[in-house]
Amino acid sequence: MKFDTPATQNPIDRMTVVGKPIERIEGQLKTTGRAKYAYEWHDDGLPYAYGYPLGAAIAKGRIRSMDVAAASRAPGVIKIVTSDGMPDLKRAKRNTAKLFGGTEINHYHQAIAVVIAETFEQARAAAHLIKVEYEEAKGAFDLEASMDGAIKPKDGEPDSAAGDFAPAFEAAAVQLDQTYTTPDQSHAMMEPHASIAAWDGDALTVWTSSQMVDWWRSDLATALDMDKEKIHIMSPFIGGGFGSKLFLRADAVLAALAARAAGRPVKVALPRPFLMNNTTHRPATIQRIRIGAGQDGKITAIAHESWSGDLKGGGPEAAVQQTRLLYSGANRMTATRLAVLDLPEGNAMRAPGEAPGLMALEVAMDEMAEKLGQDPVAFRILNDTQVDPEKPEKAFSHRDLIGCMKLGAERFGWDKRNSRPGTVQDGEWLVGMGVAAAFRNNMVMASGARVKLDREGILTVETDMTDIGTGSYTIIAQTAAEMLGLPLDRVAVNLGDSRFPVSSGSGGQWGGNSATAGVYAACVKMREAIAKALGFNADGIDFADGMVISGDRRVPLGEAVKDVPLVVEDTIEYGDISEEKQQSTFGAHFVEVGINIATGEPRIRRMLAVCAAGRILNPMTARSQVIGAMTMGVGGALSEELAVDKKRGFFVNHDLAGYEVPVHADIPHQEVIFMDETDPMSSPMKAKGVGELGLCGVAAAINNAVYNATGIRVRNYPVTLDKLIGALPQLS
């Protein structure tokens, strides 16, 4: 189905199932432990062995020699696959960095061997017996020191300009010119990267944890130099990804190589330190923001420049993209520069670009509001725009940033905020409020689905879409139920299997909207097939309560099925809508913090998110996405930082003891409000994404609240107590 105009007479608009706060249909499987994650498929009786990876102990250089003799003689060892037998992934489209180290080592913990043994403990013990001699080379590990050599990246968003920034900024009555930094961050999801691989002749089955099943299948075929059709990927349940499981990772390839070498199924889970140093991370940024405005507060000039680093051939963190669209101003400039660093691969992490970009931009907006003597909410509202500021002829399909700001301010009690920093005290705590705008572009991707109807009137949906904890199973079931007039318990959903039609996958905030639109397209075709089977006019029928209704006739849905089930499939594809309208999601984050007067310890007291993201397909699962994102934002603001050893070139705190993420005790009251809106330009579902919007701006709102509480402006994240304690105001 081609979608290039707003859908009319859309069954989804009935909203009898879609839009309802329905509990996850797979929830009981997860809470009772019956949902099988990647490392758990051994319950099927596979005669599996264990693989344990060995990572490079240097960040740059080459391997002189590798002695596996002692490891090979260790108890339980079956085989050892070394770097000599590992593939070069240069041809794989989505791998900008080598997953494996051959003669050349590109980054610390690059996989150089995998030991296969009867037990995990035996494999791990033997891996530590491998003796490797290296020739170490000098590497670049410091972004700030590499800024002078940074270049304009070949890939990614190009630099942009409108008007004439330099003279407009120079002439502005009020000016801001500040630099902000964000650190390297880790996805740190609960489930590590894990895979089980089994060969049957020249055919390969991999049970893995992948957000994008078809991407992995294609790149695994390239890595192993085999026919894609001979690879079967299974990924029905995923214990978190945040972008690190978008792309093929070492565990899947190691498991496949190990299983082939051992002649039996092998399971490989990357240890937690490998998650930080072998897989992807959010790269650090250095961001310079300049804003010029008149005394009235209207922005006349705005510029945002960002520096980040990656391995040779990698890409930048696109931290400037929200600045192109969020606020008005006739004279503008954005630029992105990329330094070559010999650290592990930098790549997508929840809301890539906007998340770190807003950590800087929304603090700069607060600083500018203070210079102007304006309220931070009022200043943002004053500089709202309903068109792309770089392309004024292109309007937004739907934009309600002002509505989010106004409603959020009212619900949060913003009028009670004291604009004088460091003046509100509650016992031993200094108290402050902060705000930030939320922005994330709306992306859609082609997505396919297959639907089957049996004689009992049970509808089964099959698509390779994944569920990374987002509620994909449930919103897909709701979509199918709405389209065919069925109760939810008459719909079955099967996901994460490469034998099913290719979907959008989970990532970029496109998954829920795109995947349900693909199910919508398949269900439209099913409605037509049912009408034909029953001899009805497809344009004149309705579906409700498990019945097909045409005039006075009501026929049970199952009667459309004869000897074999009805089976149809279709794919939603998009026209050039994005060329006609700018599609984005918006929101506002409000936060209250307390800062301990004696220790400088920051604590979150309450949080509010107001989101404008099209039709909300399930308020319950959407709320879970947003509060999870808000919690992630707390980590980004107050604690999360991969500490770089700038001599040895690796992330030192590569486990959950040293890399500190928020826990339940850190998060008190959270409230989420969804604006009542639809966007028919986005998809037949009239929805957008919300899972990344909930993160965008959170850290800045916290930082702004810390300033309001203390009068201390922190421009280098995270906002830790050592950056506060020496300058806290002395109150009685």
The residues near 605 (Cβ < 8 Å, ≥ 6 apart) are: 431, 592, 593, 594, 668, 669
Closest CA to 125 of 58, 46, 50, 195: 50
The amino acid at residue 639 is S
Q: Is 193 exposed, middle or buried (0-12, 13-18, 19+ CB in 10 A)?
A: buried
User: Residue 435 phi/psi, 5° resolution?
Assistant: -135, 155
β-sheet bridge partners, residue 598: none
| Whole-number CA gyration radius for the chain | 27
Tokens encoding 541: 């029928």
Hey, what are 609's tokens? Answer: 């998110």
Backbone φ and ψ for 482, nearest 5 degrees, come out as -65, -45
Rounded CA separation 167/241 (Å): 45
Residues counted in the chain: 732
- DSSP conformational letter for 185: B
Strand 131-136 versus strand 61-67 pairing type: antiparallel
3 state DSSP class of 204: strand
The C-alpha atoms of residue 719 and residue 602 are separated, in whole angstroms, by 8
- Measured CA to CA, the distance from residue 18 to residue 471 in angstroms comes to 13
Beta strand spans in 325-444 (E): 331-340, 387-388, 391-395, 425-426, 429-441
Structure-token pair, residue 437: 């705008």
Could you tell me the two tokens for 379? 């200043």
Give the CA distances from residue 200 to residues 231, 277, 379, in Å, rounded to whole numbers and listed in that order. Answer: 10, 33, 64
- CA distances for 261 relative to 81, 116, 231, 722, angstroms: 7, 9, 17, 52
Distances (CA, A) of 170 to 203, 292, 300, 666: 65, 8, 10, 44
CA dist., res. 252 & res. 488, Å (int): 35
Tokens 């890409």 appear where?
315
Q: Are 513 and 446 a contacting pair, CB within 8 Å?
A: no
Distances, alpha carbon 533 to alpha carbons 439, 467, 523, 529, 544, in Å? 47, 34, 15, 6, 18
Q: Residues 674, 680, 681, CA angle at the centre, nearest 5°? A: 110
Question: What are the DSSP E strand ranges found in 209-316?
Answer: 231-234, 266-269, 285-293, 299-310
Distance CA 510, CA 504 (A): 7
Q: Give CA–CA dist 141/252, Å, rounded.
A: 28
Based on the residue annotation, tell me whether 157 is a catalytic residue of this protein: no
End-to-end CA distance of the chain: 68
Q: How far is 562 from 453, CA to CA, in rounded Å?
A: 10
SS3 track for 600-652: CCEEEEEEEEEEECEECCCHHHHHHHHHHHHHHHHHHHHCCCCCEECCCCEEC
Q: What angle do CA 44, 45, 51 make, to 5 degrees?
A: 100
By the 8 A CB rule, do 432 and 421 touch?
Answer: yes
Helix (H, G, I), strand (E, B) or coil at 425: strand
Active-site residue identified among 354, 592, 640, 692: 692
Any idea which residues carry the catalytic annotation? 692
